[in-house]
Amino acid sequence: MTFPDDHTVNAALALAVRAPSVHNTQPWRWRIGDRTVHLYADPARQLPETDPDGRDLLLSCGAALHHLRVGFAALGWRAEVHRLPNPAEPRHLAAVELHRHEPEQEEIALAAAIPRRRTDRRRHSSWPVPGSHIETMAARAADEGVILREATGSARYHLAEAVFEAARRHTADPAYRMELAAWSGRHFSTEGVPAVNAPVPDPSPGALPGRPFADPRLPQPPGATGEDDETVLLVLGTASDDPLSRLRAGEATSAVLLTATTLGLASCPLTEPLELAGTRQQVRDRVTGGTMPQMVLRVGWAPVNADPLPATPRRPPAEVVTPLSTQSAP
């Protein structure tokens, strides 16, 4: 059995930690063994007000796991993943074995998309997203065992209702507002949502409310209005709601976001309506037809005059990667 050299492992991990996470908390820890790479959840980075049951944390870690798989595949190594390998250690999310592999063009394209992907919370343009693009993203989600649905017609109406209701309830919650302020409006930080990536509120009629991040500095694209916005709303769902389903939903989220990037689309996770039991149940009943909703994604074309977004910062490797032999799991 072979194992990639340190340079290859570090290159794959550098791509893995580019994964999106709730409020850019980066709630993962990596342990490097002699023959395996291990992913652990970092419970110290769970957000008690935004994510009381840890669902967003597992989604974030699942996205990082998929980024790792894509990175290794493009570097010539197939990842054999053992998810939740030890029931007695629930924070140990995955053990990854690696095998020699000839990279496919699709894997190289997805890996190349990782450094280019951005969470773009701004409004979209009036150009419709082709149905073939949505079918491609749905196929990538299905490869991860997750169902992707586009919310159209009455389902879109009910999903928008859930978004507005969740925003209203969060606005009325002082503890939530304090937590959001603590994790946003950042300047020169390696974590949290930077002020330059948080858009100013969109006053356009019908625009979906975004989170009220602290000190938003990102202007909306000039000329574009919410009335012209051709945002597509995609919902990722699973048959059950156990930790494994949530982890796989995070992997599917990564697959869809990277696919959207390769297609030239702007994208943004929208988890707020799924963070409250009442609005999540509304989405399940009226949007996904009983499938457990795990993630909502806004997808569309960025306006031609939209400025490029800076990359959000990441914690240094020394904070999230350690040899397995030097420290026990967090």
Q: Please choose, from the candidates 61, 43, 3, the residue with its C-alpha nearest in 3D space to the C-alpha of residue 329.
A: 43
| CA pair distance 95, 289, nearest whole angstrom | 33
Beta sheet of 292-300, edge-to-edge order: 147-150, 232-238, 292-300, 266-269
Buried b (16+ CB within 10 A) or exposed e, 58-82: bbbbbbbbbbbbbbbbbbebebebe
**Domain encompassing residue 183:** 131-300
Residue 72 placed within a domain: yes
Contact yes or no for 251/96 (Cβ under 8 A): no
Does residue 150 share a domain with residue 295? yes
Six token digits for residue 258: 């990277």
Contact yes or no for 31/38 (Cβ under 8 A): yes
| CA pair distance 137, 194, nearest whole angstrom | 28
Residue 307 placed within a domain: no
Residues 6+ apart with CB under 8 A from 88: none
Does residue 283 share a domain with residue 251? yes
**Residue 222 confidence (pLDDT):** 84
- In order, the DSSP letters of 152-206 are -HHHHHHHHHHHHHHHHHHHT-HHHHHHHHHTEEESS-SSSEEGGGSBPP--STT
Does residue 238 share a domain with residue 103? no
Does residue 91 share a domain with residue 185? no
Six token digits for residue 199: 């858009």
For the chain, how big is the Rg over CA atoms in Å? 19
| CA pair distance 154, 234, nearest whole angstrom | 14
Does residue 280 share a domain with residue 160? yes
Amino acid letter, 232: V
**Residue 329 confidence (pLDDT):** 47
**Residue 236 confidence (pLDDT):** 98
Domains: count for the chain? 2
Amino acid letter, 8: T
Does residue 136 share a domain with residue 96? no
| CA pair distance 190, 143, nearest whole angstrom | 32
Q: Please choose, from the candidates 154, 119, 120, 148, the residue with its C-alpha nearest in 3D space to the C-alpha of residue 136.
A: 148
Give helix 6-16 / helix 55-74 axis angle, nearest 10°. 140
Does residue 223 share a domain with residue 160? yes
Does residue 140 share a domain with residue 264? yes
Does residue 264 share a domain with residue 176? yes
Residue 93 placed within a domain: yes
Q: Please choose, from the candidates 221, 236, 243, 227, the residue with its C-alpha nearest in 3D space to the C-alpha of residue 94.
A: 243
- Which CATH number characterizes residue 52's domain? 3.40.109.10
Does residue 108 share a domain with residue 216? no
The H-or-E segment that residue 96 falls in is strand 92-100
pTM of the model as a whole: 0.96
Contact yes or no for 280/287 (Cβ under 8 A): no
Query: What count of residues does the chain have?
Result: 330
**Residue 200 confidence (pLDDT):** 94
pLDDT, tens digit (0-9, with 9 covering 90-100), for 114-131: 999 999 999 999 999 999
Residue 308 placed within a domain: no
**Residue 325 confidence (pLDDT):** 64
Residue 167 placed within a domain: yes
Does residue 241 share a domain with residue 170? yes
**Residue 1 confidence (pLDDT):** 61
| CA pair distance 218, 154, nearest whole angstrom | 32
3-class DSSP state of 79 = strand
pLDDT along the chain (330 residues), means of 10: 90 98 98 96 98 98 98 98 96 97 97 98 94 98 98 97 98 98 96 97 86 96 70 97 98 98 97 98 97 98 93 94 67
Does residue 179 share a domain with residue 81? no
